[in-house]
Amino acid sequence: MTTHAFMVEAIKRATEQQSMRHSFIKDAIESRKSTIKTGKVIQLGDAFERLRSQITSKKTPKVKQG
């Protein structure tokens, strides 16, 4: 790999990472606003249970909002 190709790839990766960070922060802000507006939350234990079920391809339990 040439020095130029290396630099181009490094810039590309940095740009992609910055874009992902921006998207993550935007989603977090929107989620926070929605939570404040609706008051709907999911208990951490329930969220982990749902995630575990999805990972193991078991039937996903319905999440209780409270």
What is the number of helices (H) and of strands (E) in the chain? 2, 0
Per-residue pLDDT of the chain (66 residues; tens, 9 = 90+): 899 999 999 999 999 999 999 999 999 999 999 999 999 998 999 999 989 988 987 665 666 665
Q: Quick count: other Cβ atoms within 10 Å of Cβ 49?
A: 14
In this prediction, residue 59 carries a pLDDT of 65
Longest Cα separation, the chain: 56
CB 32 within 8 A of CB 24: no
